[in-house]
Each structure stands twice: as C-alpha cells, then as structure tokens.
Amino acid sequence: MSGDDVRVTTAHLDELTVHQVRAAAEARSATLLADGVDAAVRSTHGVIASATAGAVSDIIAARRAAGMNIAAISDDLGQKLHEAARRYDHADDAMGRVMDGQVKPR
C-alpha cells in the first residue's frame, strides 16, 4: 500500500455515515423483537414454566443491553464519520485559499 494514493471524499464519508445510522436503527429494532417472549411463556405455560420464563427474561435483558450497545457504537461511529467529513472539507477549503494566495494571477 505504500505506493498507493489515499483518496478521501466527503461523499464517501457521508455514505458511510448513512450506513452507520441505518445499522444503529436496525440494531434497535432487532433488539426489541424479542420483548414480551417471557410474558408469553408465563401466559401460555403457567407456573410450571416460571423458571424457564425467568431465564428467558434474563436472556432478553442481556440481548437488549447488547443490542443497545451495538446501536450506540454505530451511532458514535456515524457521528465520527460525519465530523471527519466536515473537518476534511474545512481543511481542503483552508488549503485551497492558501494555495490561491500563492498563485499569481496572469
């Protein structure tokens, strides 16, 4: 890679931002899909399945925590990508002005 040019485009960073925001939303939605399963087990199986329903409750809580953590990480990455695009544009504009000041008009 040492001989390869690295190219940064804000459009690509913005695309990646959209993907991360979408991933966060989908993680949240998927996390909520299992809500209520423990209550359904209690309702359909009664007292005999209370230990199972309790275990399912614990699993759902762990699943919810993991899903929300994934969503938070995706949100954070999306914000960082957006900020990187903004900073890149700012640096590009600033250096463009510097170069414009160094080039003499004909």
Whether residue 79 lies inside any domain: the answer is yes
**Which pLDDT tens digit goes with each residue over 69-103?**
999 999 999 999 999 999 999 988 888 888 888 87
Residue 1, pLDDT above cutoff 60 = no
Q: What value does the mean pLDDT take over residues 41-50?
A: 92
d(CA 31, CA 64) in angstroms, rounded, equals 5
- Domain encompassing residue 37: 20-101
Q: How many domains does the chain have?
A: 1
Q: What value does the mean pLDDT take over residues 10-39?
A: 95
Q: Is 99 helix (H, G, I), strand (E, B) or coil?
A: helix
Q: What's the number of CA atoms in the CB half-sphere (13 Å) around residue 29?
A: 6
Whether residue 74 lies inside any domain: the answer is yes
Whether residue 7 lies inside any domain: the answer is no
Q: Predicted confidence band at 14 (pLDDT cuts at 50, 70, 90)?
A: very high
DSSP secondary structure of 15-83: HHHHHHHHHHHHHHHHHHTTTTHHHHHHHHHGGGGHHHHHHHHHHHHHHHHHHHHHHHHHHHHHHHHHH
